[in-house]
Amino acid sequence: MDASQPRAGQEFRRQFVEFAIRTGVLRFGEFRTKAGRLSPYFFNAGLFHDGASLGELSRYYAQAALASGIAFDLIFGPAYKGITLAAATAVALAQLGHNVPFSYNRKEAKDHGEGGNIVGAPLAGRVLIIDDVISAGTSVRESEAMIRAAGAVPAGVLIALDRQERGQGELSAAQEVSRNHGIPVTAIATLDDVLATLRGRADSNDRIAAIEAYRRQYGA
């Protein structure tokens, strides 16, 4: 099969990239990353901030969760960005015929009412952590600790975009999290999908060249 063509059932990955470009969530230019690198693109999931875009985003998360092959019984969203993502993805999964519970954490434990720092369904079974991106992996580390403390099992992590660039060492940030925590990390789309999408657009030669040069320098 032509490597430039998406695998059967995986078309949603490039559709997601097109969606991110259309909504201005994925932008091109010069952007300074947290690591101090000058990146030719920037992905800001916080710009999915209206009902229509969140609804469409949640459908991509649901498709990616089902396509990942990760078996899960519950969705967990780390505060704060993960809260909305977990709730919306649970709705989208239910619409696809997969009704699963979800929960999320408070930043500070509540000492009245039901108490505790977990809101929603009790943490139990195999838990899929949903977040926007992975940078230092702090959110995953904290989520894993809460899940294991409840006697549940972290099944994997699902993020929106995997930049596929080196983290602290030769591995990418996603690969480091997978290695350090012993759980799979998957994404709706990767940098490979971004490049494949751009190659199908007539006006993207300069963007492709800049991203490929950046990847040669920082790619995992």
Question: What residues are annotated to the active site?
Answer: 110, 112
Domains of the chain, with CATH numbers? 11-218 (3.40.50.2020)
pLDDT tens per residue, range 173-186:
889 989 989 999 99
Nearest Cα neighbor of 109 from 79, 140, 69, 72 is 79
What does residue 12 show for φ and ψ, rounded to 5 degrees? -60, -25
Share of the chain above pLDDT 90, in %: 73
pLDDT tens per residue, range 8-59:
568 999 999 999 999 999 999 999 988 889 999 999 999 999 999 999 999 9
